[in-house]
């Protein structure tokens, strides 16, 4: 198994540590499990005007035209 160093936000580290403790596994195994769970979770979509739109959580940042333009410029 490859080894790596991760920088995790404090709250993410707490979640991983609690998961590891509850399941009696290493912190690395806990992070792997949590990442897999997040990756396996299906995207919730809905149809709007004939297009499939991903429904985001209320905590997600708002996507604005300015943000899309900035991200597009960053790619160029």
In a domain, 2, yes or no: no
Tell me the residue range of the domain where 44 lies: 10-75
In a domain, 66, yes or no: yes
SS3 content of the chain, % helix, strand, coil (to 5): 50, 10, 40
Provide the number of structural domains found in the chain: 1
> How many angstroms separate the CA atoms of 20 and 36, rounded?
14
Each of the 76 residues of the chain gets a pLDDT tens digit; together they read 788 999 999 999 999 999 999 999 999 999 999 999 999 988 888 999 999 998 888 888 888 999 999 999 888 7
In a domain, 65, yes or no: yes
pTM of the complete model beyond 0.75 = no
In a domain, 5, yes or no: no
Burial of 51-60, coded b for 16+ CB within 10 Å and e otherwise, reads eeeeeeeeee
């Amino acid at each position: 198994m490859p080894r790596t160093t991760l920088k995790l936000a404090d709250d993410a580290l707490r979640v991983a540590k609690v998961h590891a403790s509850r399941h009696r596994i290493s912190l690395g195994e806990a992070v792997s499990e949590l990442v897999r769970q997040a990756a396996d979770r299906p995207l919730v979509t809905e149809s709007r005007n004939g297009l499939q739109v991903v429904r985001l959580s209320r905590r997600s940042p708002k996507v604005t035209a300015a943000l899309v333009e900035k991200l597009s410029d960053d790619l160029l």
